[in-house]
């Protein structure tokens, strides 16, 4: 297992009182308009998805890592847009790919 193969710099101030460092990515401006509730990449491949995530930077909708595609992660790797949320109404779950945790 090589868990530290990438992104180790993000944890430079971890460990204070056991608290993870604050994620400032969530303070960045959020997209106000979201795309349709579907993963266009999966649709093109004829796949199904289990859960959809929306990029808070640009409103791009794609499937989560639960599915084979992981297209939301692919979007992050292409664009460096760091934070995604679920499309479920009322859900406050958000995930930061840079810090690799919920925020």
DSSP code per residue over 26-39: GGSPPPSS---SS-
Nearer to Zn ion, 55 or 85 (CB): 55
Residues near Zn ion, by CB under 5 A: 23, 25, 39, 41-42, 55, 57-58, 60, 63, 69, 71, 81, 96, 98-99
Nearer to Zn ion, 18 or 63 (CB): 63
CA dist 54 and 85 (Å) reads 5
For residue 45 the two structure tokens come to 């491949």
Nearer to Zn ion, 25 or 51 (CB): 25
């Amino acid at each position: 297992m090589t868990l530290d193969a990438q992104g180790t710099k993000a944890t430079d101030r971890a460990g204070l009182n056991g608290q993870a460092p604050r994620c400032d990515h969530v303070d960045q401006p959020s997209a106000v308009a979201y795309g349709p509730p579907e993963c266009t990449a999966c649709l093109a491949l004829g796949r199904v998805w289990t859960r959809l995530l929306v990029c808070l930077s640009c409103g791009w909708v794609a499937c989560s890592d639960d599915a084979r595609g992981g297209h939301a992660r692919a979007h992050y790797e292409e664009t460096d847009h760091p934070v995604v949320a679920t499309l479920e109404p009322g859900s406050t779950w958000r995930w930061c790919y840079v810090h690799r945790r919920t925020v």
